[in-house]
């Protein structure tokens, strides 16, 4: 999973310098990512989460 504070600091008020984020092929269950995990990225179209590779037991 992606911890809430691993990409964006929740209490920061300034914009992040991140413009895109690619998390492809990392065995990430996108349903378990909290909404606030990428809150600092201005344009949600810059967040690429698919396609993900899924394994058994996931």
The structure's pTM equals: 0.47
Give me the mean pLDDT over the 24-39 stretch: 75
State what percent of residues in the chain have pLDDT above 70.
48
Tell whether 58 is covered by a domain.
no
Count of domains for the chain: 1
Tell whether 13 is covered by a domain.
yes
pLDDT (0 to 100) of residue 56: 42
With a cut of 50, say whether residue 10 has pLDDT above it: yes
Give me the mean pLDDT over the 11-22 stretch: 66
- Which domain range does residue 23 map to? 4-48
Tell whether 31 is covered by a domain.
yes
Tell whether 32 is covered by a domain.
yes
For residue 49, name the pLDDT band (cuts at 50, 70, 90): confident
Token duo for residue 37: 């995990």
């Amino acid at each position: 999973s992606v911890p809430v504070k691993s990409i964006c600091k929740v209490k920061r008020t300034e914009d992040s310098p991140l413009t895109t984020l690619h998390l492809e092929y990392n065995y990430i269950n996108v349903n378990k990512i909290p909404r606030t995990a990428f809150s600092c990225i201005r344009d949600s179209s810059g967040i690429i989460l698919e396609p993900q590779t899924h394994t058994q037991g996931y």
